[in-house]
Structure 1
Amino acid sequence: MTHLGLVARLISPALAAVVLEDRVPNLTLDQLHWQPVLGGVFPLSLPPIPPAGGDLYRELFDGPLPAIAQAFELSDHILIGNVASAVNGAATALSNAALSNAAPTLAARAHAVATDLLSTPPLRDAHTPNPFRRRSCCLIYRAAPDRDGPLCGDCVLNKP
């Protein structure tokens, strides 16, 4: 769950920058600043976003995602599933916020950017679209007593 949380905290603001400003932040580890907080989320600050251009996929996969993955003993299948789930979750949150603020163009853009990112390998094989369902389990249910906790909404173990 920590891996999924860190990945989501990284992808959400980066995806928002692309959707809102068509700009990709520099996501090198030396530019990111984390504040570890016990019992809560890890606040993240990003550097100033460059004026234009950039490739979100490259910034993520050539940047912090491999380093974050090395810190966890999870299979590549679960790691990539977590990334796909974080992309989908960020796009859904952005889309819902845009729609609640009467900005359907931004909602559509959030889904378009996420769809583009999710169509690239290895993310392409980590999920099924419409409705989004990951092809791996994040294993959160195993953290509960008796390893019998709830399943996430996009979990492969949920019955359709």
Structure 2
Amino acid sequence: MVLLAFVDLDLDPELAALRPLGGFFVLHTAVPPRTGLPTLEQAYTPTSSAAASEAYTDPLAFRVRKVARALGAPEDRVAASLAHQGLAARLWSVALGAAALYGQVPDLDPRLLRWDPDGSAPDDLWLGEVRGLPVASLDEVVRERHLVPLATALSSRHGVSVRLLWGNAGAALASSVRMIDRWARTAGRPDAAERARTLAAGLFTHPDLARTIDPATGRRRTCCLYYRLPGGGLCGDCCFDRPPGRR
């Protein structure tokens, strides 16, 4: 039997240990290049101001429209689903990556995390202050404080199914585990991969995430609607074997 040694580190001010894992894991901690970027709390509960652009007053709606234009989404809910999956993947990757490598989770308080809805990973998120939380808070940090209000906002405003959104969240979490595992193999860090798998298994016991992924095949149980894009096919973990017929 191989014994895995978990070596915990203090969170460094730049979260530099996350960089080798790839862009989805990178979290900027410096001052954002543009002033006035909205926080994710503002994205979940937009404000109204005729003097400011939509990217600042309603960043979530701005992001959905940006995705729709870029991909030619035929329905608002398709763009909302894909925008959701991208943000969920960023949040899970940062938090789970830090938990696996540092043994701590950065406090991703939505009031401290600034978001550029016009940006892409890794130049979309900036954390105002780095402070560590125990790994036991991982579910609260991501699911409770971000994914719950994000699902509520997208479902109520863009008509996308809540069950589909939690399927996205489960798929994003599973993808983060796979990316950590792939990096750990080349970096000689089986301890990090083991910790990520163990933590993710615990997260998948929550009713919001349970049964979103088939444990036998790794495929999700709902579809993110990517196939509905012009020329869109199926994702590698899709629940379908072939694209459903379009009405």
Per the TM alignment, residue 155 of structure 1 is displaced from its structure 2 partner at its CA by: 0.9
SS in 1 for 2:104: coil
SS in 1 for 2:98: helix
1:31 aligns with 2:117: no
Per the TM alignment, residue 53 of structure 1 is displaced from its structure 2 partner at its CA by: 5.0
Match of residue 39 from structure 2: none
Identify if the C-alpha distance between structure 1 residues 133 and 81 changes in structure 2 by more than 3 Å, giving closer, same or farther: same
Match of residue 7 from structure 1: 88
1:50 aligns with 2:132: yes
Match of residue 155 from structure 1: 238
**Which of 147, 156, 174 is the equivalent residue of 1:65?**
147
Do 2:166 and 2:209's aligned partners in 1 also have CA atoms closer than 8 Å?
yes
TM-score by length of 2: 0.58
SS in 2 for 1:45: strand
Aligned residues: 155
Per the TM alignment, residue 150 of structure 1 is displaced from its structure 2 partner at its CA by: 1.3
Do 2:95 and 2:142's aligned partners in 1 also have CA atoms closer than 8 Å?
no
Identity between Structure 1 and Structure 2 (%): 34
Amino acid at match of 1:102: G
Residues 2-21 of structure 1: per-residue CA shift (max 9 Å, x gap)? 11001111110001111112
Match of residue 188 from structure 2: 102
Match of residue 41 from structure 2: none
SS in 2 for 1:33: strand
Amino acid at match of 1:36: P
1:133 aligns with 2:219: yes
2-structure distance, mates of 1:52, 1:150: 40
2-structure distance, mates of 1:111, 1:158: 27
Per the TM alignment, residue 63 of structure 1 is displaced from its structure 2 partner at its CA by: 0.4
RMSD: 1.9
2-structure distance, mates of 1:32, 1:103: 29
Do 1:10 and 1:44's aligned partners in 2 also have CA atoms closer than 8 Å?
no
**Which of 108, 114, 123 is the equivalent residue of 2:209?**
123
1-structure distance, mates of 2:148, 2:209: 14
SS in 1 for 2:197: helix
> What residue ranges of structure 1 are gaps of 5+ in the alignment?
none
Do 1:22 and 1:53's aligned partners in 2 also have CA atoms closer than 8 Å?
yes
Identify if the C-alpha distance between structure 1 residues 34 and 79 changes in structure 2 by more than 3 Å, giving closer, same or farther: same
